[in-house]
Amino acid sequence: MSLPPVIAIDGPTASGKGTVASLVAQKLGFHYLDSGALYRLVALASEKQGIDSKNGPELGLLIPKLLISFSNHQIFLNGEEVTDTIRTENIGLRASVVAVHPEVRLALVDLQRSFRQSPGLVADGRDMGSVIFPDAVLKVFLTATASARAERRYKQLIAKGISAKLSDLLQDLQERDARDSSRGAAPLIIAKDAKVLETSDLSIDQAVKTVLDCYQSSIA
């Protein structure tokens, strides 16, 4: 029996992959996996328990004990609703450090693959096409200039009433890009068979349409 199809959407921080992936999933009636949320949940849980973000072995042991659930666009950790909490810049930066560890990435592999259910899955992250779902029917690598991504993040934070400084966000993004691309375990790379989509000058609707068109072509 063939497995449900997967559309893997990867890319650096603030490239728009989460928004695009969730809208593509919605239009196709597919399930959606925000893999970045899982790393943010590990970051939050480890912070709450006082585990050093640089202690890979201990972080890896923590993961199987976590109760994680997604329901009605809300995210729960051990029964607590943490949807907004994990989106803070502090948790985002901590997640980037936590994600470097092979123990953490390995512990999350099976959990991520468990989201692959009928009728299909749209998964976004940094290694969805290269590591987690190498047999995805479509692999898209969303990218944009660092300045465009920093500006997007700035607007998102301001819209939520969170104060932010554009220059600090740009520096954080560049540091995060460097960490994601240079880590030994599942670095941020463009899968050989991925379609690269530059979104600096694209609207969300244009990016979504491009991905949907590519998917239709892949199954034609």
Question: Is 99 a member of any domain?
Answer: yes
Give CA separation, 39 vs 111, 164, 196, in Å.
12, 23, 24
Question: Is 56 a member of any domain?
Answer: yes
Determine if the peptide bond prior to 119 is cis (ω within 30°). yes
- State the residue range of the domain holding 76: 6-211
**pLDDT tens for each residue of 122-134:** 999 988 999 999 9
Q: Which of 162-171, 200-209, 211-220 is predicted with the least confidence, judged by mean pLDDT?
A: 162-171
SS3 (DSSP) at 160: coil
Question: Is 216 a member of any domain?
Answer: no
Q: Name the amino acid, one letter, at 60.
A: G
Question: Is 105 a member of any domain?
Answer: yes
Please tell me the pTM assigned to this model: 0.83
List, edge to edge, every strand of the sheet that includes 195-198: 31-34, 121-125, 6-10, 138-143, 195-198
Number of domains in the chain: 1
Q: Which H, E and C letters describe 36-86, residue by residue?
A: HHHHHHHHHHHHHCCCCCCCHHHHHHHHHHCCEEEECCEEEECCEECCCHH
Tokens describing residue 3 = 């497995």
Pairing of strands 138-143, 6-10: parallel
Question: Is 220 a member of any domain?
Answer: no
H-helix or E-strand spanning residue 105: helix 102-113
Question: Is 218 a member of any domain?
Answer: no
Task: Compute the distance between CA of residue 170 and CA of residue 104 in angstroms, rounded to an integer.
Answer: 26
- Closest to 71 in 3D by CA, of 37, 40, 45: 37
In this model, does residue 26 exceed pLDDT 80?
Answer: yes
CATH code, domain carrying 111: 3.40.50.300
Question: Is 131 a member of any domain?
Answer: yes
**pLDDT tens for each residue of 60-112:** 999 999 999 887 788 999 999 999 999 888 998 899 899 889 999 999 998 89
Question: Is 217 a member of any domain?
Answer: no
